[in-house]
Chain A
Amino acid sequence: MNAPRLQAVAPDTATGEIIKLAVMAVGGQGGGVLAGWIEALARSQGYACQATSVAGVAQRTGATIYYIEMTPDRGGAPVFALAPASGDVDILIAAEMMEAGRAILRGFVTPDRTVLIGSTHRALAVSEKTVPGDGIADAGEVRAAAEIAARRLILADMDALAREAGSVISAALFGALAGSGALPFGREAFEAAIRTGGKGVEPSLRAFAAGFDAVTAPPAPAASAPAAVSTPTPSGPEGALTDWQGLAARVAALPAPVAEMAVAGLRKVVDFQDASYGADYLDRLDAVLKQDAAGRGHLLGVEAARHIANAMAYDDIIRVADLKTRPARFARIRAEMAAGPDHGLHLTEFLHPRGEEVAGMLPARWGAWVEARPERLARLDRWVNRGRRIRSDGLPGFAILHLLGGLRGYRLRTHRHAVEMAHLERWLDRALTARARDYDLAVEILRCHRLIKGYSDTHARGMSKFDKVMDGADAVAGRADAADWVRRLREAALQDVEGKALDGALATIRSFA
């Protein structure tokens, strides 16, 4: 790659007129259809043209590449290359944002010549999706590189445009290619190529038009409204509304950065339980805020507002049943399925409660009694532990879920609630104890609540990671870089499932001792 960059110094202008176009796509996106249209277009316009592809197994969701060269037919037999060469591509069409990044990485996008037409949507790679935390690659970095690398950059969410038109991305990209003017052919010639193709012509033409317009008349960037801190106004029974207004007034009195988060938090816990539970939330938050520091941007308060809400709105059977039976959910699914009034819609829920979840639903003392002895829990587990497919659109299924979801009034007396609250208090105590000596450490300890998520085994694994990180926090407490270590432990815990990275980091900490 460090070889001198060579400039093509064509002895005849014809060689310089060869148009080199590469399509980088993900298998299954219809890259072959797009390449076929481009080739048919070129031939119809009196161009000599050659296309190549690497099909085979890459077609199965892997990164694929199609390559096309064309030049006005002069009656000779032009010699075309069979693959794109770095520094020698005129038009690069990337059917996905990271494929645009891959094109840049491979040197197919250079400032002297390349028009880069890319779709900004993401088709996540498996490696991005399997991370327990947030492993999504940074599209901003690709955009920044594209702005330097491309002679001309055209980016739009071609996938969304195509879907809105009831077609697939290849048609929108073909439209964007036409709109870019990078090929010396008129719009009619492009559309004729689609018509000649003969499959799904009308939807393809609509998506083509959308892609064309996206390039020629890019929509004005929607002025994003400044996110004002406004408390939502719920509806409901009179008394509850009065309670809510009291809570809203308390939130409004909080320091601005905290208030923003606390609005969301309050809404979550009230939605989870009721207004009085919301008052508990604000009480807990107030206790933390007493020890917050305005000079630090109320970081402690913000994180407390976020994570106390998450901790208080834990995922129990009641919450799941409640969420599954709400009218808004049914409406949302109907919309997503494009179900019209004449369509029927069946909904099947995949539930698998274990003994633990049911024990959690028992009254606190009874549940604790069951969990105290493994054989009691095992017996309960034998009774309940099996997969249950529940038709939530049917009366029996809906009735069960509706009943369970209606147990909110009883929730605060459950074993699960007692366990969750005890855990919450320990965690908050730990953070506030740390606060006395080290503000940053307290913030990091609060943030560690992010590790607790999921259900059943996943939840248990999250808990054990949380406990490990807390042990680590105790071990580093007092060090100047304690907060930094806790942050590193948390990030390590989110990297892999087994917690290998976390164990490695903990080993390092122990080596300090």
Chain B
Amino acid sequence: MAERSFKAEVAHLRKGQGDIFTGEGILAITKALLENGVGYVGGYQGAPISHLMDVLADAQELLAELGVRFEANASEAAAAAMLAASVHYPIRGAVTFKGPVGVNVASDALANLASSGVTGGALIIVGEDYGEGSSIMQERSHAFAMKSQFWLLDPRPNLPSITKAVGDGFALSEASNTPVMLMVRIRSCHVTGQFATRDNRPPPLTVRDALAQPRRDFARVVLPPMSYAHEQDKVKTRWPAAQKFIAEHGLNERFGPAEAPVGIVLQGGMYNGVIRALQRLGLADIDGATQVPLYVLNVTYPLVPDEFEAFCAGKSALLVIEEGQPEFIEQQLAALLYRANSTLALHGKDLLPMAGEYTGQVMLDGITGFLKAHAPDLLPGQVRAPNTPPPALPDLGKTVPIRPPGFCTGCPERPIFAALKLVEQELGQHQITGDIGCHLFATLPPFEIGGSTMGYGLGPASNAAFDGGGARRAISILGDGGFWHNGLSSSIGNAVFNRSDSVVVIVDNFYSAATGGQDVLSSRAANATKATNNPISAALKGVGVEWIRQIDRTYDVPQMVAVLREALTTDHAGPKVIVAASECMLNRQRRERPLRAQAVQAGRRVEAPRFGVDAAICTGDHACIRLSGCPSLSLKRLDDPLREDPVAHIDQSCVGCGNCGEVADAAILCPSFYRADLVHNPGRFERTRAAWRESIIGWLQRRRAARRLRFDEVAP
């Protein structure tokens, strides 16, 4: 993390016995790792777990004191592979990434790890990016636990429960020689709260110590015949051991009266939503004391049949609350009940939706429906016979515009896509694929460039079918994050090897920007613990790309257009790769703004650029916006009866990147744009010269003004 400091958060990690931590869930997990004697931590950034990585990256001093190794892994696969240290050594290790996409990438390593089994506790912390605010496909990480036989924790979403799950996870992993996945949803990662901290515990055996006495155990290697033995071991030894541990240590929880005709089985992560629905029905109090029995699965895989049967005893109906699809837990519970010849009515996805987030209203409707059918007496009269309907509201559905995320003000990627759009206007529509990263916003209006995204670093690979060429070359986009994650081999190597005729645009913004501005191999910043400044173009040459064009100022739209045109029309055989490099504006501003303010304060000469539009010259066609979408380039209605359409307007948030002026030039739009450079603390010579210039200009202006009719100019 070059441009943002997490020193304040690091201070939280130093809290000890008797202190209270107040803050976000993901930071609490980070603290819990240190309290539980973790020996090494790794991962790959992404919402909602970036914070864990960012904070540990800034906590090198503390980690060194404890003897904990922190690694910012190249990918989720690399992170999961790092857990191999816990296979032979009794060292606790934890890695983190987002789910399910990160789990997809890591699944090869995870499957091997699960087959080998572990000696030290191995914890995979997955930030499940599902439901509102998610940026990825909607799937569940749950299936990975089932297919590879590792265990899945889904703790109640409060800080004491989440941090307890970290310790439970390590212990469960060691008791059953199986890796454990701790799943936390987006909101659990960002939820704030408090928990009582304990002292940090250095690992009994550090990774550094382990290197002095290397170990190997052939029985852990995934090769026949051991791989067959592993499968048997999983179901005969590790699984029962896990169930025993879960039951003995009470990892799952029961709330509410012991005896009742109905009950609810839920994932731990659903607990607060269920309680809120019960609170609204008058069936739970503020602290969660409920009148409906709850069986809370803080471990959602494996299930513990004995516990479940005990919960079912005496009940006639059960509701399973399991978010996402398919309903793995409900199916397993149904099988258990069927085998036990139970007559108990099992509800779940029949009363609750199969797909989509379980929001407050969904939960309320589902639980109400269940209780209406099986325990109507519990419900307040209002619910059984609702009276007045809510007032009718005007439908705003057509009024309120959608507001998807987009490029930030001054983003260096905007001119790349503006140029691409201009080239397409000239040469026709092209087959274009996108990749994962900020640049994927180009698929949205106003650019609407790129029609698919197959995975991180896979943009060029997903154009492979078109590598043979045709009427117009296929184009793919790849970010610097994706390039180093997977793209160098899977996309670029693939293109070189297959003699691809396509064009690749690598968006190099100096950071893994979409995930919060972490450094990558090609970052320009100096990083005390990481090797940066490895140019992408050097890697391209190394892997055999011959046609490489490096652009070091993406805002130069005419040059971008020229290079894209060249790539699309050159006779060169083999992949054409353009590296379009300019620093992420968000991070650049983070670094430069305070420095600039300091310099102005100190009396040094500073130029601050900003763009503007002459309202009288703008005709309100908005062509500039269709090639920009910049948040600071907006519209303004004029107080002029002659002008019916709003005109373009640049607000104060403009950072003076230059895109709109460049685009107005390159696309030959209009002469309305101007750049104003405000010069702070100009020198004496500069001031004198400016005054002299102004006096001449002023004389010319007055001379002309005297010869014409002048109206008081109303500032437009």
Chain-B contact segment, one of A175-183, A265-273, A366-374, A431-439: A265-273
Residue B48 at the chain A interface, CB threshold 8 Å: yes
Which residues of A are found within 8 Å of B192, using beta-carbon distances? 39, 49-52
Q: How far is the CA of A67 from the CA of B78 in the complex (A)?
A: 35
Q: Is B622 in contact with A395, judged by CB distance below 8 angstroms? A: no
The answer to whether A133 and B272 touch (CB under 8 A), given A8-B280, A28-B408, A85-B361, is: no
Q: Is A306 in contact with B396, judged by CB distance below 8 angstroms? A: no
Q: Could you show 30 A-B contacts with beta carbons less than 8 Å apart?
A: A1-B361, A4-B386, A5-B389, A5-B390, A6-B280, A9-B282, A12-B285, A57-B438, A60-B407, A60-B438, A60-B441, A61-B408, A79-B288, A85-B359, A85-B360, A87-B390, A98-B403, A130-B445, A240-B709, A267-B711, A327-B698, A345-B679, A347-B674, A348-B661, A392-B674, A395-B693, A454-B669, A455-B619, A458-B670, A497-B623
Question: Ordered nearest first, which 8 A-B pairs have the shortest CB separation?
Answer: A85-B360, A54-B133, A344-B679, A56-B47, A62-B405, A453-B619, A4-B386, A328-B713
Q: Is A127 in contact with B382, judged by CB distance below 8 angstroms? A: no
Q: How far is the CA of A1 from the CA of B667 in the complex (A)?
A: 47
Q: Is B408 in contact with A83, judged by CB distance below 8 angstroms? A: no
If A62-B405, A347-B674 are given as contacts, then 11 extra A-B residue pairs at C-beta distance below 8 Å, sorted by A number, are A14-B286, A79-B286, A81-B272, A136-B637, A232-B711, A237-B708, A261-B641, A329-B713, A339-B678, A347-B676, A395-B697
The answer to whether A83 and B389 touch (CB under 8 A), given A55-B47, A62-B406, A275-B709, is: no
Q: Is A88 in contact with B360, judged by CB distance below 8 angstroms? A: yes
Residue A499 at the chain B interface, CB threshold 8 Å: no
Q: How far is the CA of A59 from the CA of B190 in the complex (A)?
A: 14
Contact partner of A60 (CB less than 8 A), chosen from B157, B365, B401, B405, is: B405
Residue A63 at the chain B interface, CB threshold 8 Å: yes
Q: How far is the CA of A335 from the CA of B713 in the complex (A)?
A: 14
Question: Which residue of the partner chain B has the closest CB to A68?
Answer: B192
Which residues of B are found within 8 Å of A261, using beta-carbon distances? 641-642
Q: Is B193 in contact with A50, judged by CB distance below 8 angstroms? A: yes
Q: Is B631 in contact with A61, judged by CB distance below 8 angstroms? A: yes
Q: Is B704 in contact with A345, judged by CB distance below 8 angstroms? A: no
The answer to whether A453 and B616 touch (CB under 8 A), given A5-B386, A57-B135, is: no
Residue B305 at the chain A interface, CB threshold 8 Å: no
Chain-A contact segment, one of B108-116, B306-314, B572-580, B644-652: B644-652
Cβ distance B587 to chain A, nearest Cβ, rounded Å: 13
Question: Which residue of the partner chain B has the closest CB to A89?
Answer: B360
Q: Is B645 in contact with A129, judged by CB distance below 8 angstroms? A: no
Q: Is A18 in contact with B675, judged by CB distance below 8 angstroms? A: no
Which residues of B are found within 8 Å of A99, using beta-carbon distances? 403
Which residues of B are found within 8 Å of A76, using beta-carbon distances? 286-287
Interface string of B125-149 (1 = CB under 8 A from A): 0000100111100000000000000
Residue A230 at the chain B interface, CB threshold 8 Å: no
Cβ distance A325 to chain B, nearest Cβ, rounded Å: 7
Residue A58 at the chain B interface, CB threshold 8 Å: yes
Residue A422 at the chain B interface, CB threshold 8 Å: no
Question: Which residue of the partner chain A has the closest CB to B557?
Answer: A387
Interface string of A119-157 (1 = CB under 8 A from B): 000011111111111101110011011001100000000
Which residues of B are found within 8 Å of A61, using beta-carbon distances? 403, 405-408, 631
Q: Is B645 in contact with A450, judged by CB distance below 8 angstroms? A: yes
Question: From residue 652 to 693 of chain B, which have CB atoms closer than 8 A to chain A?
Answer: 652, 661-662, 664-671, 673-682, 686-687, 690, 693
Contact partner of B186 (CB less than 8 A), chosen from A54, A111, A136, is: A54
The answer to whether A264 and B286 touch (CB under 8 A), given A83-B132, A145-B393, A148-B394, is: no
Which residues of B are found within 8 Å of A84, using beta-carbon distances? 360
Question: Which residue of the partner chain B has the closest CB to A315?
Answer: B619
Q: How far is the CA of A236 from the CA of B678 in the complex (A)?
A: 33
Q: How far is the CA of A494 from the CA of B405 in the complex (A)?
A: 26
Q: Is B710 in contact with A6, judged by CB distance below 8 angstroms? A: no
The bracket for how many chain B residues form the interface is 35 or more
The answer to whether A125 and B401 touch (CB under 8 A), given A234-B711, A260-B641, A455-B671, is: yes
Chain-B contact segment, one of A100-108, A188-196, A469-477, A481-489: A100-108
Which residues of A are found within 8 Å of B675, using beta-carbon distances? 346-348, 350
Q: Is B360 in contact with A350, judged by CB distance below 8 angstroms? A: no
The answer to whether A129 and B610 touch (CB under 8 A), given A6-B386, A163-B652, A264-B640, is: no
Q: Is B285 in contact with A349, judged by CB distance below 8 angstroms? A: no
Residue A508 at the chain B interface, CB threshold 8 Å: no
Q: How far is the CA of A402 from the CA of B693 in the complex (A)?
A: 14
Question: From residue 1 to 55 of chain A, which have CB atoms closer than 8 A to chain B?
Answer: 1, 3-12, 14-15, 17-18, 26-28, 39, 43, 49-55
Interface string of A493-513 (1 = CB under 8 A from B): 010010000000000000000
Residue A426 at the chain B interface, CB threshold 8 Å: no
Question: From residue 356 to 407 of chain A, which have CB atoms closer than 8 A to chain B?
Answer: 387, 389, 392-395, 398, 402, 405-406
Q: Is A62 in contact with B404, judged by CB distance below 8 angstroms? A: yes
Q: How far is the CA of A310 from the CA of B645 in the complex (A)?
A: 13
Which residues of A are found within 8 Å of B281, using beta-carbon distances? 6, 9
Which residues of B are found within 8 Å of A211, using beta-carbon distances? none
Q: Is A232 in contact with B712, judged by CB distance below 8 angstroms? A: yes
Q: How far is the CA of A279 from the CA of B312 in the complex (A)?
A: 94
Question: Which residue of the partner chain B has the closest CB to A76?
Answer: B287
Q: How far is the CA of A349 from the CA of B186 in the complex (A)?
A: 47
Residue A296 at the chain B interface, CB threshold 8 Å: no
Q: Is A454 in contact with B670, judged by CB distance below 8 angstroms? A: yes
Q: Is A350 in contact with B664, judged by CB distance below 8 angstroms? A: yes
The answer to whether A320 and B671 touch (CB under 8 A), given A77-B287, A145-B393, A274-B708, is: yes
Interface string of B624-651 (1 = CB under 8 A from A): 0110010101110100111011100000
Contact partner of A111 (CB less than 8 A), chosen from B368, B391, B514, B697, is: B391
Q: How far is the CA of A206 from the CA of B203 in the complex (A)?
A: 50
Contact partner of B276 (CB less than 8 A), chosen from A79, A335, A454, is: A79
Q: How far is the CA of A323 from the CA of B614 in the complex (A)?
A: 9
Contact partner of B394 (CB less than 8 A), chosen from A59, A127, A145, A336, is: A145
Residue A446 at the chain B interface, CB threshold 8 Å: no
Q: Is B645 in contact with A453, judged by CB distance below 8 angstroms? A: yes
Which residues of B are found within 8 Å of A352, using beta-carbon distances? 664-665, 668, 671
Which residues of B are found within 8 Å of A98, using beta-carbon distances? 399-401, 403
Which residues of B are found within 8 Å of A12, using beta-carbon distances? 285-286
Residue A354 at the chain B interface, CB threshold 8 Å: yes
Contact partner of B272 (CB less than 8 A), chosen from A80, A237, A395, A457, is: A80
Residue B451 at the chain A interface, CB threshold 8 Å: no
The answer to whether A310 and B642 touch (CB under 8 A), given A82-B273, A345-B677, is: yes
Residue A244 at the chain B interface, CB threshold 8 Å: yes
